Amino acid sequence: MSVVVIAGASGFIGRHLSAAFAAEGWQVRTIGRGVGADARWGSDLRPALDGSLAVVNLAGRSVSCRYTKKTADEIFSSRTETTAALGSAIADTANPPAVWLNSSTGTIYREARDRPQDERTGELGTGFSVAVARAWEHELYAAPAPVRKLALRTAITLGAGGGALSALINLARLGFGGRQGDGAQVVSWIHVDDVYAAIRHLIDAPDISGPVNLASPHPVPNAELMSLVRKEFGWLAGEEARGIPLPRAALGIGGRIIRTEPELVLKSRWLAPTVLQESGFRFRYPELADALAAIGRSTPRGLLPVQLG
C-alpha cells in the first residue's frame, strides 16, 4: 500500500485530498495542530514521513481576513515555518518520500490582464501576498531534503463544502451576485477534483519539478464568473438571474465588515497550466459552467457557512 503524508489536512483542500487518496487505496498520514493528526507540528515528524511515497504540504493560515500586523505575521510564519520544519524532517528521515509537493499560490504572479502567466515566462508581482508566496517557495527550494520538489501555484479552488465558492454563492443568494469591481479582472480557477488528479499525475511524473500552475486552461472574467454562479446557485437561478454589482469602494467597506481583503477578488490572476498540459494531463472540468453544475448537485439551499479569519 502506498503512503501519502498530508500536512494541513483539516482544511477544505486537505479534507478532499485525504478522502480521495483513501478511496484509491492509499494509506493517508496527516500532520497538523489538532489532536487527530498522526504527527503534530513541533513534534518529531519523521515517523509520519518514514516510508512514504509522497508528502503534500497545505499548511497555512487562511488568507480570508483583514491584513493587520498580527494576521499578516501569522499568514507569513504559518507557511514558511511549517515548510522549513518539514524540509528538515525529510532530510533526517531514514526512508524519505520520493516527492514533496508544497502549496504555493497563483497570486505570486503580477496583476495580469494582458496575457496569461505560465511557469516559464510568467512575471512575479509585488506586494504582501507575493512576498509571502516567494518566501514560501524559497523555504521549499532551500530545504536540504534530497527529494523531488514541486511548488503548486494553485488558482482559486472550487468545490462543495468550503473554499472561496461558498462566499460567492452567499452573495448571489443575497442578491449581491453582480460583478465585483469593473468585472474585467481575470479569474483563474480549478475544481478541487482536478487538484487531486493533478497531484496524482505529478506524483507519477518523475521528470517534473519546480513550479506548477494548478489552474483550468479556461479562466473567465469576474463578471462571467458571477453570472454563472447566479445561474447555478442564486435563489432566482436561470437566465434571468440578476445581481447587484459591487464596485471597488463597496468591496472596501464590505471587506472591513466581514474582515477580509478586497484584493482577493479584485486582483486579475491569469494562469496558464503549461507544465500540466505539456505533460499530458487532462482536466476533468476544463469549463467553469460544467464545474459549477457538478458542485451544484451536492450544494444545499440557503446560506452556506463561510470560514473567516
* pLDDT of the residue at 297: 94
pLDDT at 131: 98
Could you identify the residue written with the cell 458542485? 295
pLDDT tens-digit readout, 118-145 = 999 999 999 999 999 999 999 999 999 9
Between CA 294 and CA 112 the distance in angstroms is: 28
Side chain identity at 12, as an amino acid letter?
F
In whole angstroms, what is the distance from residue 2 CA to residue 240 CA?
50
Please choose, from the candidates 33, 16, 20, 304, the residue with its C-alpha nearest in 3D space to the C-alpha of residue 164: 304
Distance between CA atoms of 70 and 263, rounded to whole angstroms?
A: 18
Amino acid (one-letter) located at 124: L
Position 236 scores a pLDDT of 59
All structural domains of the chain: 3-296 (3.40.50.720)
pTM for this model (two decimals): 0.95
What's the number of CA atoms in the CB half-sphere (13 Å) around residue 158?
Answer: 27
CB atoms within 10 A of CB 121: 10
Contact 53, 97 (CB under 8 A): yes
Question: In tens digits, what is the pLDDT along the chain, a chain of 309 residues?
Answer: 999 999 999 999 999 999 999 999 999 999 999 888 999 999 999 999 999 999 999 999 999 888 899 999 999 999 999 999 999 999 999 999 999 999 999 999 999 999 999 999 999 999 999 999 999 999 999 999 999 999 999 999 999 988 899 989 988 898 889 999 999 999 999 999 999 999 999 999 999 999 999 999 999 999 999 999 999 998 755 545 678 999 988 887 766 655 678 888 899 999 999 999 999 999 999 999 999 999 999 999 888 887 655
Local structure of residue 110 (DSSP, 8 states)? P
- Amino acid present at 184: A
